[in-house]
């Protein structure tokens, strides 16, 4: 058998990738894993690759070639491999149509950046039978001490960027191991991609045993929500105007409301809002995660203090940063302090981009939703953007959305960075606001209301 560590045995066939997507592949794969060929379907039909590639990644076809032909030819040659479509060009990007044409999935950069990375890692992990590992983050709330786990758990060490094994499948997770996990300031542990199914089955069974609600673990709820948001966004980003009808716009809004109803707002949340918030924090970064988190936090904040329209905040949270699809990924990943003046200007335009997308796609939204989106980077002190609005000219929904936005940035886990606890994050926001009133983001009176509902951290 081939040595699973010999990467040249596991190649990825790529062709036609544009100038934005091509460097991404270099970033994701070792040189000897990349098999780049010209976008010529006849040549592709005759091409013999041995061993066969792990997966295929196509960019937009050249003039005169259709996506459908491409998929057919590729499928004829490679019956079992996944075939992906990757582009940074939004015109005619319709994920569902591309999948109908025979592609396994379609990705749009920059919004799908994290999804592409995870997908490529997962496929390689599958092909090498786990010798090249890929990890999935699962929420710690789904796992309790003194349980026999049906999967291995790992903890991510930001310092040396390594995953350390915490427990082995079949082990009882003892109290001290569990405490070690909770103390790590992460709200999550990691499971390898090839064992994620075991995790789902384990949590599903456990939840049935507890006769709890719909039998969805927090991890699964989050993953499903993220999937639903990704589906939603793929109908939003297409730049072709023939699809931009009022009917299409209405159906996007209905889809949003469906996500809000299914995953975010539920009736009993008023009492358990803090518990729910704790469960939701500590997710990995990523555009779709961010959208889902901001919607979730915003809703819970609104319910906790009884201010603003919770459903509208949820809806606004889902789509507030859509316009980032027009901002290059490298500007987005930089911290604000590291951006040049020009880059910051480009970044700030995402608010207007979002509003243009809403208008272009003819999405008719409640006024408070549009305002919350338009104002989510305004500050109480008038030092925000894009309009420099101050004080009560900023709506309560926008303030809560802004709070949820910052809260997610502080509490999410990023590679190389440990998560900040919710209480600590809130304290930081509060003190920043209190001590720098000339640049304050929030109404201090509003923050004081949260101070009352946030329990002290023990
Ligand atoms: Fe934003
Ligand atoms: Fe945001």
pLDDT over 80 (residue 458): no
What confidence tens digit (pLDDT) does each residue in 23-80 have?
A: 999 999 999 999 999 999 999 888 888 899 999 999 999 999 999 999 999 999 999 9
322: CA distance to ligand 2 center in Å?
9
- Quick one: pLDDT at residue 221? 84
Residue 260 has phi, psi (to 5 degrees) of -60, -45
- Give the CATH superfamily of 7-127: Response regulator (3.40.50.2300)
Residue range 343-374, pLDDT digits in tens:
999 999 999 999 999 999 999 999 999 999 99
In the chain, domain spans: 7-127, 135-210, 218-453
Which ligand is nearest to the Cα of residue 348, counting in written order?
1
Mean pLDDT of 277-289: 79
For residue 235, the CA-to-ligand 1 centroid distance in Å is: 20
Rounded to the nearest angstrom, the distance between the alpha carbon of 168 and the centre of ligand 1 is: 41
What is the full DSSP assignment across 78-99? -SSS-EEEEES--TT--HHHHH
Q: How far is the CA of 405 from the centre of ligand 2 (A)?
A: 5
Distances (CA, A) of 324 to 7, 330, 344, 354, 384: 35, 11, 12, 8, 18
CA of 84 to the centre of ligand 1 (A): 29
pLDDT value, residue 38: 94
CA 313, distance to chain mean position in Å, is 18
Per-residue pLDDT at 427: 92
- Look-up: residue for tokens 């509902």? 453
CA–centroid distance, residue 375 to ligand 1 (Å):
9
Q: Is 146 exposed, middle or buried (0-12, 13-18, 19+ CB in 10 A)?
A: exposed
DSSP 149: -
Report whether 186 contacts 418 (CB < 8 A).
yes
Query: How many Å lie between the centroid of ligand 2 and the Cα of residue 203?
Result: 31
C-alpha 171 – ligand 1 centre gap (Å)? 43
Q: Which ligand is nearest to the CA of 355?
A: 1
* Distance from the alpha carbon of residue 14 to the mean position of ligand 2, in angstroms: 33
Going from the Cα of 401 to the center of ligand 2, the distance in angstroms, rounded, reads 9
Determine the distance separating the centroid of ligand 2 and the alpha carbon of 97, expressed in angstroms.
29
**pLDDT at site 349:** 97
398 vs 188: which has the higher pLDDT: 398
What is the distance in A from the centroid of ligand 2 to the CA of 154?
29
CATH fourth-level superfamily of 218-453:
Hypothetical protein af1432 (1.10.3210.10)
What spacing in Å lies between the alpha carbon of 408 and ligand 2's midpoint?
Answer: 8
Ligand nearest to the CA of 404: 2
Give the ligand at the shortest distance from the Cα of 374: 1
d(CA 208, CA 311): 29
Nearest ligand to the CA of 292 is 2
Residues shown for the chain: 458
Instruction: Identify the DSSP state of 19.
Output: T
Compute the half-sphere exposure of residue 401: CA atoms within 13 Å on the CB side of its CA: 33
Distance 5 CA to ligand 2 centre (A): 39
Over residues 299-350, the pLDDT tens digits come to 999 999 999 999 999 999 999 999 999 999 889 988 889 999 999 999 999 9
Q: Which ligand is nearest to the CA of 290?
A: 2
Average pLDDT, integer, range 194-222: 77
Q: Tell how far the Cα of 376 is from the centroid of ligand 1, in angstroms.
A: 7
- Cα of 324 vs centre of ligand 1, distance in Å, is 8
* Closest listed residue to residue 20, CA positions, set 329, 256, 378, 415: 329
Specify the pLDDT at position 222: 85
Helix/strand/coil for 191: strand
Pairing of strands 34-36, 55-58: unpaired
What pLDDT does 140 receive?
78
Which H or E run contains 295? Answer: helix 287-305
Ligand number, closest to the Cα atom of 287? 2
Q: How much distance in Å is there from the Cα of 377 to the middle of ligand 1?
A: 6
**pLDDT of res. 3:** 62
- Ligand closest to Cα of 318 equals 2
Ligand nearest to the CA of 350: 1
Distance 118 CA to ligand 1 centre (A): 24
Distance 84 CA to ligand 2 centre (A): 28
What pLDDT score was predicted for residue 1? Answer: 46
305 Cα–ligand 2 center, Å: 21
As a whole number, the mean pLDDT across the chain is: 89
């Amino acid at each position: 058998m081939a040595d699973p560590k010999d990467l040249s045995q596991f190649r990825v066939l790529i062709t036609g990738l544009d100038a934005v997507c091509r460097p991404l592949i270099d970033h994701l794969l070792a040189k000897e894993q990349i098999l780049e060929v010209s976008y010529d379907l006849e040549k592709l039909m005759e091409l013999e690759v041995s061993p066969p590639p792990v997966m295929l990644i196509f960019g937009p076809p050249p003039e005169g070639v259709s996506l459908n032909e491409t998929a057919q030819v590729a499928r004829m040659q490679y019956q079992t491999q996944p075939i992906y479509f990757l582009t940074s060009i939004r015109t005619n990007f319709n994920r569902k149509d591309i999948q109908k044409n025979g592609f396994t999935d379609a990705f749009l950069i920059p919004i799908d950046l994290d999804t592409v990375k995870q997908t490529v890692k997962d496929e390689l992990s599958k092909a090498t039978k786990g010798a090249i590992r890929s990890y999935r983050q699962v929420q710690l709330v789904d796992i309790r001490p003194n349980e026999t786990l049906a999967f291995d758990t790992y903890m991510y060490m930001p310092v040396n960027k390594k995953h350390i094994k915490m427990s082995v499948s079949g082990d009882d997770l003892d109290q001290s191991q569990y405490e070690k996990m909770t103390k790590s300031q992460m709200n999550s542990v990691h499971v390898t991609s090839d064992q994620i199914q075991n995790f789902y089955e384990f949590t599903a069974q456990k939840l049935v045993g507890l006769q709890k609600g719909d039998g969805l673990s927090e991890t699964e709820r989050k993953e499903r929500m993220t999937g639903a948001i990704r589906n939603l966004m793929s109908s939003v980003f297409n730049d072709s105007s023939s699809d931009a009808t009022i009917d299409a716009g209405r159906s996007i809004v209905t889809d949003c409301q469906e996500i809000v109803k299914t995953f975010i707002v539920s009736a009993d949340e008023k009492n358990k809002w803090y518990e729910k918030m704790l469960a939701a924090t500590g997710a990995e970064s990523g555009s779709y995660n961010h959208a889902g988190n901001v919607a979730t936090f915003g809703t819970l904040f609104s319910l906790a203090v009884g201010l603003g329209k919770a459903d509208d905040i949820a809806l606004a949270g889902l789509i507030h940063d859509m316009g980032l699809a027009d901002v290059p990924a490298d500007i987005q990943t930089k911290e604000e302090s590291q951006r040049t003046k020009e880059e910051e200007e480009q970044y700030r335009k995402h608010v207007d981009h979002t509003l243009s997308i809403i208008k272009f796609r003819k999405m008719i939204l409640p006024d408070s939703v549009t305002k919350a989106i338009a104002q989510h980077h305004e500050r109480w002190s008038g030092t925000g953007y894009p309009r420099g609005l101050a004080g009560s000219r900023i709506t309560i929904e926008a303030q809560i959305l802004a709070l949820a936005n910052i809260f997610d940035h502080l509490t999410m886990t990023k590679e190389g960075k440990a998560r900040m606890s919710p209480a600590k994050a809130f304290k930081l926001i509060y003190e920043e606001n209190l001590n720098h009133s000339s640049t304050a983001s929030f109404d201090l009176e509003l923050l004081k209301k949260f101070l009352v509902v946030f329990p002290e951290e023990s």
